[in-house]
Amino acid sequence: MFKILIHFTLLYRHQGLCLLYLLCTFLESFVLKTCLLFLLTGEYLFTQLGVLMQNVALSRTADQSSSHPDGPARNAVDGNRDPNFAKGSCSLTHQESNPWWRVDLQNVYTVTAVMITNRNEFENRLDGAEIWIGNSLEDNGAKKSRCAIISHIPKGRTFYFPCSSTEGRYVTVFLPGTKKILSLCDVQVFPLDYADGTYI
């Protein structure tokens, strides 16, 4: 409990309101459940491993394959995780084949995690989307190194996707298929090489 309070105090100085995420991974080989504690703001991620990492996607230049008038790409990197599309916090493409969304981090980073917030409505639209990281805009920046496939994110929830220390400047969310609509309420990118060296 004392460590948790320290984490909250540390993050409060940076951002204000904090959300507490408890992510549990079941390790079958040891028949043991290991829980990792994450404290999250729009700008920082603090892991129980003791590293404070900054969200380098915040307010960066974003683009997408097409844009609904009320859902520009920049909405997904504005630091607002509100899952209600009507409040202007989510990106949205038109219905099309293979829609994509991309953020330019403006530098090459070793990305260790991407966090994505899904909408309150039409939660299944994001099913099957892929997260790609790379240094090239070929194929809209997608076909470099795949971080993860999004099987499902419940409506209004934020999910954490580890990326195995993948290097790149561009982070792309790509939704394969026809008659698809891609909508993201928040995308956060955390590189280990942008940790501030803070340990508890």
pLDDT(88) > 60: yes
Tell me the per-residue pLDDT of 6-42, one tens digit each, with 9 for 90 and over.
334 333 333 333 444 444 444 333 333 334 444 555 5
Question: Residue 189's pLDDT is what?
Answer: 95
Name the average pLDDT for the chain.
79
Count of other CB atoms within 10 angstroms of residue 156: 16
List alpha helices for 74-119, DSSP H: none
Q: Give pLDDT, residue 178.
A: 98
Arithmetic mean of pLDDT, 57-81: 97
Q: How many other β-carbons are positioned within 10 Å of the β-carbon of residue 4? A: 12
Q: Is the pLDDT at 162 greater than 60, yes or no?
A: yes
Q: Would you say residue 156 has pLDDT above 90?
A: yes
Give the CA dihedral 101, 192, 198, 54, nearest 10 degrees.
-10
Q: Is the model more confident about 69 or about 197? A: 69
> At which residue do the structure tokens 């309101």 appear?
17
Domain locations along the chain: 2-54, 61-193
Which of 25 and 189 is assigned the larger pLDDT? 189
> Is residue 78 predicted with pLDDT exceeding 50?
yes
- Ranges 17-31, 44-58, 111-125, 139-153, most confident: 111-125
d(CA 99, CA 76): 15
Cβ neighbours of residue 174 closer than 8 Å, sequence gap 6 or more: 98, 99, 100, 129, 130, 131, 132, 140, 142
Give the N- to C-terminal CA distance of the chain in Å, as an integer. Answer: 13
Using CA atoms, how far residue 56 sits from 38, 95, 117, 170, 187, in Å, is 17, 29, 16, 11, 10
Q: Which two tokens stand for residue 6?
A: 């320290």
- The CATH code that applies to domain 61-193 is 2.60.120.260
